[in-house]
Every structure is written in structure tokens, then in C-alpha cells.
Structure 1
Amino acid sequence: MSVSNANTASSNGVGAGIPVIDVGPFIRNEVGSADVVKAIEAACRDTGFFLVTGHGVSLDVTSRLYQLARAFFDYPQDWKTTQGRGTGVMGGVAFSPLAEEALAATLGIKTPGDYKESLNFGQNLPGDTWPNRPEGIERAFRDYFKEMEILAKHMRRIFCQAIGLDQDYFEPSFENHLSALRVINYPEQDEAPLPGQMRAGVHTDYGFMTILRSEASAGGLQVRNRNGDWLDAPSIEGAYVINIADAFMRWSNDEWVSTPHRVANPPSGFKGTARRQSIPFFLNPSKDTVIECLPPFLKGGAKYEPITYGEYIDLKTKQAFSKG
């Protein structure tokens, strides 16, 4: 098992970077599993962000989703906006056009809509009929979703060992889970963004954790560490960025960190291609799962009252899509 520091804090030299952790020994039950658990536990407390290699996710399945989603985003805007706008199909597709979502609103920050568009799918989430082009896009989403479910289960078991829980402690909470797979297109910015507008405004994720297939680009993912420094998240071929999300931070009584992050605009005057496509998998528990302080984190008492995940996600979603 190897751990490397893929980034360091800004010029003041204070603060941890974003570690890269080979989880292969844990997944294969080899020597070094305990080191994987220890490294991830430290990352979850220090930054809430880390990269994983050795994960076993199919490259073919990943590439197929990436290419078919890109083909969808290349279709004319007037056709795209007729797709994925309904909510009558469980396990259907949802399309979010450019600037419809403003993620900074979830932190109480008023900004223009984020300069991105996305396709969204969850097996237990409502959507619309899948488009008939590009051919195979529904199957690509479903196949990749399965790959993420496998990796997510490995990560839950690592978390349980790090906390001191039975390795299957969380599994009942992920029956009929509300996880969402999203492919996000950040187009070229041919005109200057509006004041305060970013590719994705500063936010934290809502659920248990996020598993991100990222891409190198001008204008990319930035993570704010506990010292307030913004770190550029590295893009390492084949690695996944994983971060703790709000519901799990609440579960851990704030000991594991759900870290603010954003997607920056390309630098002013940048002449090359700045188009970016990312694929986050938002691992969310079932609607009726109660989020309350886990016993190992109780110590001086729970900071929050219990709340169901359904109640929690409704609040966060309304904030993100609020026009007020």
C-alpha cells in the first residue's frame, strides 16, 4: 500500500495536501489492508478529500459512459432542453441545462447559476424517458452505476474499520439507496462569466460520500482545507477523487470533514481548450435512514438531533435550485 501527497497547501506552507491512497490491498484482502484503513481515516479527519488508485473499476465501462455522455452534450441546445425534464419514470434520466443550478446557495451565498449542464440518473430516483440518441446511453449509465456500487461498498467497509464498527454496519442504510450518478459538462467559456459566476460555486456535497472521475483542464476542482487555503485537486489518470459529504459528517459528529469545494473558471485570456467533463457518483443512503451520531463519536454528546436522510436532502436540494 502506498500513500503519496498529491498536492500541498498554498505558499504559506501550512496545511495538509490531498493524499493519493492505493486501496488495492484492502479490496484484495492482502497485506497492507490495515495501512489503507489508517491512511483513509487520517484523510477523512484532516481534509475530507483523498484520491484512490487500485480500485478495480472497469476502464471500458468508464470510457463508454464518458464518450456517450459527451456525444449527448454535443447535440444542439434546443434539442437537449426537451430531454429529461419530466419526473414520471423511476430510474429515468434528468437533464439540467446551463446555469439552472447554483450550488453556492446551499451555503447561503447568492450567485448566478453555475456554468455547467448535466445528465443525472439514480435507480431509485425519478426522471424522464431516456433519449433515443446517442444509442446505448442508458445502458452506459446503468453499467457504470453498478461499478460505483461495488467500489462504494468497499469504501463503506474501510470506513467501518476506521471507526471501529462491524464492517457491514452501514449496509442496511443502503438498501434502496438514493445514490445519483451525474455526468457534468463544463463547456468552453467563449464569453466572460457573470460577476460571481463559476463553473460550480463553492459547496459541500449532501450525502454519505462522493466518488469522482475527474479530468485535467484549465479551470478545475479546488478544495478548501481547514486552514482556508484553496488546493487544486490533482488529476491523476485512473484515480478517483473521494470526499466525505454532509450527511456522513453529521453521522460522525463533525469529526470527519465535509469540505467546501468548487470548480474554478478557466484563467482569463486562456487560449487552449478548457472544456471539462466530470462524472461524480453521489452515494446516498435510503430515504428513511436516520442520521444520528454514531456511538464511537458520542463522547461529549451529539451535536445534532436525529433527522431522516429524506428530510435532509429535501432541504439541501431546495436551496440549490432556489431562484430567490
Structure 2
Amino acid sequence: MGEAIGFSRVPLIDISGLRGGPADRDRVVAEIGHAAREVGFLQITGAGVPPALFAGLLAAARRFFALPMDEKMKVYIGASKNHRGYVPEGEEVFSAGGRDRKEAFDLSLDLPPDDPDHLAGNPLLGPNQWPPLPGFADAVMAYYDAVLALGRRLLHAFAQALGEPPTLFDDHVTKPPSQLRLLRYPAGPAADDREADDRETDDRETDAVGIGAHTDYECFTLLRCTGPGLEVRNGVGEWIDVPPVEDAFVVNIGDMFEILTNGEFVATPHRVRRVTAERYSFPLFFSVDYHTRVVPLERFVRPGRPARPGLVAGEHLFAHTAQTFTYLKDRLATGEIVLPAGSVGLSSFGHPTQTAG
């Protein structure tokens, strides 16, 4: 398992140079590569995503979550065949029964109902569920498309930082199940405990047991949020605060990249402390295609550094999802669905879950 060194801050990198000449691009690529190897986290500015798109997404999220519960449940994720829709508080239950205090709306690449993978029963590919809110889908997908495009540019930069051609991974991101989550956390009574973000639950409360410090499953995550709280753990066990920067994205390496690079890039554990103010968070988990076999690149396998076990990207994502969401666990119990062959227990790719102590 890769482990970031004893860093004291998360680097802030202006990536506008990726759209410049060779010298500017090489400089930014080097900065990105250093952050991916030594920290596993970075914040980026100069991403070229219009601020109005985030404003539109936030407004859409506020409108949706303000709806009465019966209206939100009309697009309940359990009514979807490909894991899209509203996630009520308590739907996600992690290892050892962790209690979840957030609500979410989950979406991904919006494929047509006649998409062949969807028709074949792929559990993560297909159309999104949309609430009947005028302009909601347009605002959300405008943001999704822009950030997915940003992710593709970063994918090229990461490949170059590894000494590979920028297009190395392009053939594996033709129809990726890259998920965007619209997350709302209600205001909490205290600010000294730890609360979940995206895949986290409280790791300090005595009445909540589940995933605390964790890593994300995919290649990398692109995050925007409305308030502070994010912390990352360095290689000496210290928790480092990541203060929000206006118009910046937080980017963190995920487990797929740690495996693809055989530990050259590190997937650093992170958590989000509970805050008193209502908080919105919008992580986009950038993944490779569902059927991609994730194995270490040959250049990073050598004596004393053996190749880590590989896996099929989408199957692993689905296996973890099916062990987390109540509606899918119910379908597993009845035999309506089964886990992919070779599935492991609820954990990241080599980063086991941690229960509260």
C-alpha cells in the first residue's frame, strides 16, 4: 500500500499551463506528478470550468433537497436498475452498521434506454433518474459534462507524469461509470466529532461504527463543496486540514491509480469533520470503463516491487456498492442479484475499512 510522506499541507496548483506551450505544460505536469506521488491530494485552480456551472449545480441541489420526502422518493435509487437517483438518510450502511447522516442524489453518464450495456443488465450503466424539476437535469448535466472533460485533461497530465504518452488511458474511458454525487449534510450540533463525506461515516462517535479514514475506489476524485471540514492523513498519522479555495477543485488519487502505478501514486486516506453549518458536497469519481482490467503498468513492476493483484474496475465498484446500499443488500439476500466472482469484502482496493475505536 502506498503511503504519503509527512506533508503539512495539500499543494495548490494552477493548471492553466496545461493549455499553454510545452514548457508550461511540462511544469504543471511535474507539479501534478509530485503531488500524486508525495501527497495523493492537490487543489487545482485555472481549470477552465465556468463558475456559473457550479452555481447552477448548487442551486439545483438546494431545490431538490428542499422538496418534501415523498417527492424525493419518487426518484428513489432503489427504483433504478443501474444505481441512479435519490439516496435517503440511512440508505447507506457501511461495515459494522455505520450510521449515515446525509442525503444524496447519484447520477452518472446519462445513457439512452436502448444502450446495449444497459439492455444487457449492466448494474452501473444506463439512464439517469430525474425529478420533475424544470431545469434540474440541464444544470446538473452541464456541470457533469464540464468536470468529466476536466477529468480527461487531468488523465492526460497524470499519464505524462508517469512518463507515458498522454493518451495512454484514452481507450479505457469510452463509457466510464464515473459517478457524480450531490450530497447534503444537515447542520450538526457540534464541530469536534467526525462526519462522513462521500463514502465516509463517523469514526469517533460511540453510537456510530463504520468507515472512517478511507480512500476512494476510482482513478481520482474531483470535489467541490460549500464549506470546510476535509482532512487528509499524512504518512506519520497526522490529520491535515484542506481549507477551501474559491473556484478550486480538490483532486485526490484513488485506488485504481494506486494499483495501475503499483504504488507510485498514493491513495491517501481522508475524512471530513462534522461542522455546524449545512454543507453541500459534489464529488465526481473519475473511473475507467466498466470492463477494464486494472493491473500495474509494467514499468512499475521490478524486483523488490512485485505487481499488486489486479481486478475488473466496474465489478469491484458494483461489489462495494452492493455491500453498502440497503436496497442492493436486500436484492442480494433474495438472490435477485449476485456479487461478481472474486469480490472482496467491503473495503477499498487494499485499504481495509476501519471501525470506530
TM-score tier, shorter chain, comes to 0.7 to 0.9
Q: Are residues 263 and 100 of structure 1, via their aligned partners in 2, closer, same or farther at CA, if it must alter by over 3 Å?
A: farther
Q: Which amino acid aligns with 2:54?
A: T
The structure 2 residue matched to 1:98, chosen from 89, 108, 112, is 89
Distance, in Å, in 1 between the alignment partners of 2:314 and 2:81 is 19
Q: TM-score, normalised by structure 2?
A: 0.76
C-alpha distance after superposition, 1:99-156 (max 9, x if no partner): 32245x3xxxx352221111111115346631112x2111112111110121111101
C-alpha distance after superposition, 1:7-63 (max 9, x if no partner): xx9xxxx53420000000112336422221111111111121000001000111111
- Do the aligned residues in 1 keep the contact of 2:85 with 2:106 (CA within 8 Å)? yes
Aligned residue in 2 for 1:317: 321
| 1:225 and 2:229 correspond | no
Per-residue deviation, 1:235: 0.2
Per-residue deviation, 1:262: 1.4
3-state DSSP of counterpart to 2:105: strand
- Do the aligned residues in 2 keep the contact of 1:115 with 1:200 (CA within 8 Å)? no
Shifted more, 303-312 versus 177-186: the winner is: 303-312
Query: Map of 1:140-179 to 2, 5 A cutoff?
Result: 140-179=139-178
3-state DSSP of counterpart to 2:75: coil
Distance, in Å, in 2 between the alignment partners of 1:29 and 1:87 is 49
Q: Which amino acid aligns with 1:20?
A: L
Gaps of 5+ in 2: 112-124, 194-201, 330-345, 347-357
| 1:71 and 2:63 correspond | yes
- Do the aligned residues in 2 keep the contact of 1:187 with 1:275 (CA within 8 Å)? yes
Alpha-carbon RMSD: 2.7
Distance, in Å, in 2 between the alignment partners of 1:128 and 1:319 is 21
- Do the aligned residues in 2 keep the contact of 1:213 with 1:239 (CA within 8 Å)? yes
Query: Map of 1:126-275 to 2, 5 A cutoff?
Result: 126=126, 129-133=129-133, 135-189=134-188, 195=206, 197=208, 201-217=212-228, 220-266=229-275, 274-275=277-278
Gaps of 5+ in 1: 1-8, 267-272
| 1:284 and 2:287 correspond | yes
3-state DSSP of counterpart to 1:285: coil
Q: Are residues 69 and 319 of structure 1, via their aligned partners in 2, closer, same or farther at CA, if it must alter by over 3 Å?
A: same
3-state DSSP of counterpart to 1:259: coil
Paired residues, what number? 298
The structure 2 residue matched to 1:61, chosen from 35, 49, 53, is 53
Per-residue deviation, 1:190: 5.1
C-alpha distance after superposition, 1:72-115 (max 9, x if no partner): 1112234323323345476x841111132245x3xxxx352221
- Do the aligned residues in 2 keep the contact of 1:49 with 1:259 (CA within 8 Å)? yes
Q: Sequence identity, in percent?
A: 32
The structure 2 residue matched to 1:121, chosen from 107, 111, 117, is 107
3-state DSSP of counterpart to 2:213: strand
Distance, in Å, in 2 between the alignment partners of 1:281 and 1:47 is 20
- Pick the structure with more strand per residue: 1
Distance, in Å, in 1 between the alignment partners of 2:280 and 2:71 is 20
- Do the aligned residues in 2 keep the contact of 1:160 with 1:168 (CA within 8 Å)? yes
Distance, in Å, in 2 between the alignment partners of 1:128 and 1:53 is 30
- Do the aligned residues in 2 keep the contact of 1:89 with 1:128 (CA within 8 Å)? no
Distance, in Å, in 1 between the alignment partners of 2:285 and 2:44 is 16
